[in-house]
Structure 1
Amino acid sequence: MYKILANTVFLGKDIHFLTECHSTNDLALGKIRTKEVAEGSIILTESQTKGRGQRGNRWWTEPGKNLTFSLVLQPYFLNATEQFDLNIVVSLAVKEILDEYVPGIVIKWPNDILHIEKGKLGGILIENIINHQGIEFSVVGIGLNINQEIKELPFATSLSSLTGSQMDKWEIFKLLIARIEKYYVSLKKGDRKRLRESYLSNLYRYGEWARYDDGEVFDGKIEGISPEGKLILEKRDGSLNLYGFKEVKYL
């Protein structure tokens, strides 16, 4: 079923399919070290038993129902401080492909894909191997709820739950990889300003006052994302505050 992709130039020409694995990101990182994969290689599984989100959070998926895979990239053109640009590229690609099936998809900083009313559809975890020259390899882990019926997880949903019908995972996968490739090439060509503007225009709560918690509950408004990927929040007193992952909670 999962053969090389015909609709891409270099992504998805080498697909490693496993019925089950602990974590596609961990497997991809291991294969990078043993030189079994190169840029564009994809590790894809039907069942990920120990999938991870940001900072070690668990990402659970029902076997055979969803898309869980990791994509290997070599963004040598980025330095370590620019690694969030990859998150922007992948988030935009996922959001736009899901838009073709259902309205109301937004990006939630730093790595979630949401339906504005029904909750989380998926997540992105990017892990980098960095050397003295910059980013040597990036592993882009993506988990998307496609055909899973979600009852046990609060504030989560799936594409089939939103559309009322079973979806073709392989078709979504092909479209998504092609869209990631398109934006990755744009990033490589230096089109960062436009990509960041598009990311902000699709960012959950951008420019809106809402409640947050950074140790104290406060009203804040997202004003942007720093070059390093930190969330920029304005407080009611007019101050601008920068937050890294896990330093602020959405309420």
Structure 2
Amino acid sequence: MFLTDKNIIVLNEVDSTNNYAKQLIADKAGEGTVVLAQYQNSGKGQQGNFWESEAEKNLLFSQILYPGFVEAGKQFYISKLVSLALLETLQMEIPNVKIKWPNDIYIGHKKVAGILIENTIKGSSLASTIVGIGVNLNQEVFVSNAPNPVSLKQITGKEYDVQEVLNEYLKHFYLLWDELREGNFEKIQNYYLSQLFRYNEWSWFRKEATDFEARIIGIGEFGQLQLEQKLGEMAEFMFKEVEFVI
């Protein structure tokens, strides 16, 4: 382990950068501290899923924030701006990058990055946030049963420097973080919707083994997916209540 001059802790191996970041918060780590790992032996994805990543091939990190200015009810805005910062970073290399609700990053119909955000709440506001991010940069073979992984190198043929991509993400993130501090919620919401995978497009979804056609018309206050079905019926779904048919 070593600490860079930009407050980035680099680890050769760790179970999960989010777990490591939790201990740093307990030890009063400063805001903006980043835990960067070359390999995670128990990488965490959404809903307890495992995040596959070959050693020294990809960008795996967690970011510590103290967003006391964000009301607990608006915590999904952090997910939005993290997704947007990551999207902007990848769009510098390839154009057809989108955010698949709630916060997976897709290139075409394949997943290039995932985000896991863990918040703690104090009173009516957020006390701390750990932003965990995994980006497939240079990995060329995936062996897990994940349905549709892809790396940037598989698409562009280029090799990427992990630290350079991290630094680029941080630049984009802090510009958006300032927007959140200033309370520009509508601006962030509109930007997020404009970059959303299959936004306002008729496509297929699945709920409890039943497929139905609908289009995304919005995102609710708490991050719920708002769909309009073919007969005009509106419905809202929280995370894992509905899935995309891809």
TMscore range, shorter length = over 0.9
How many percent of aligned residue pairs carry the same amino acid?
Answer: 38
Q: What is the RMSD of the two structures over their aligned residues, measured on CA atoms?
A: 1.4
Could you tell me how far 1:42 is from its partner in structure 2?
A: 0.6
* Corresponding residue to 1:32 among 25, 41, 47: 25
- The answer as to 2:203 corresponding to 1:220 is no
1:120-135 counterparts in 2 under 5 A?
120-135=111-126
Deviation string 1:149-199 (CA, Å, 9 cap, x unpaired) is 134354111011111121122211111111111101111111111111111
| Inter-CA distance 225–213: structure 2 relative to 1 (3 Å threshold) | same
Number of the residue aligned with 1:8: none
Number of the residue aligned with 1:3: 4
The normalised TM-score by structure 1 is 0.92
Q: How many residues end up aligned between the 2 structures?
A: 241
> Structure 2 unaligned runs (5+)?
none
Number of the residue aligned with 2:105: 113
Number of the residue aligned with 1:155: 148
Deviation string 1:123-143 (CA, Å, 9 cap, x unpaired) is 011000111131000000010
The normalised TM-score by structure 2 is 0.94
> Structure 1 unaligned runs (5+)?
5-12
Number of the residue aligned with 2:14: 21
Could you tell me how far 1:2 is from its partner in structure 2?
A: 7.2
Mapped partners of 1:26, 1:85: distance in 2? 23
1:135-150 counterparts in 2 under 5 A?
135-150=126-141
1:234-249 counterparts in 2 under 5 A?
234-249=228-243
Secondary structure of 2:4's match?
Answer: coil
Which residue identity is paired with 2:68? Answer: Y
1:49-198 counterparts in 2 under 5 A?
49-117=41-109, 119-152=110-143, 153-198=146-191
Could you tell me how far 1:237 is from its partner in structure 2?
A: 2.1
